[in-house]
Structure 1
Amino acid sequence: MAYWLFKSEPDVFGWDDLVAKGEQGEEWDGVRNYQARNMMRSMAVGDLGLFYHSNVGKEAVGICQVIALAHPDSTAADPKWECVDIKAVRKLPRAVSLEEAKAEPRLAEMVLVNNTRLSVQPVSDAEWSVIMELSGDQG
């Protein structure tokens, strides 16, 4: 299993919106960055991700799961744009802010800390463990 981070603006589509989708989840559409698209192409069903509120809050708020492999993005006219489907798993006991991640030496190499603009990012096993620790999530 691999770990990822999915960024969304909470005033457009936030954690509560994903939770409301239930088991059917939601297509992670609208990504128009080749690097992020290629990461989604490498995802497997069952991979877990951090749901991150960007712009407003700037914090990881929940855990989501990939429930469908990469497929054409229904919002794109060009079939080169693909996305996965994700569903909410659980809310983190405590959100972990970007500021907190930047202050944590064990997260110094995390993509989020070094490239805050990328909307889909890989998270290493070690980084995932640190975020779970900081959030108080016992899994």
Structure 2
Amino acid sequence: MKQKFILSLFGMILSFAVCLPVLATVTGSLDVAAETPDYNAVFLSLSTLVAAIPIWVEIIKGYFPSLKGIWTQILSWLVAVGLCMFGWWQHLGIFDGIDWYIALLYGLGSGLAANGIADIGLVQWLISLFTRKKKKGA
């Protein structure tokens, strides 16, 4: 018990030491844009979205420790679709100006890529088959 306490105390001290330089960072101006976090950064590309999906899945699995096997993959697909539809609803990053079914395809594809079933390049190619070609003059 004492060993776990010392280990957790060491972990807290280490995490404080890591985030202390971040807290001490001073921006050059007091601009409001410099103080607000950029939540749009997760939705800038399919790669960043695929990287964010396992993080959310692990957070949710912390609340439901009995999730194992196929249920983890299903949860990953649901999180992927949920994140993509949220990005489409808020017009964030790559979801700005696309149709809802394309955002749904991005969700399904990012879920497959997050589980390691498909490659990001393959997912982007498959989605490009369903998107409309933009005219050069318009």
Using structure 1 for the length normalisation, give the TM-score.
Answer: 0.24
Q: More strand per residue: 1 or 2?
A: 1
Q: Considering only CA atoms, is the larger Rg found in Structure 1 or Structure 2?
A: 2
- Structure 2-normalised TM-score? 0.25
Structure with greater helix share of residues = 2
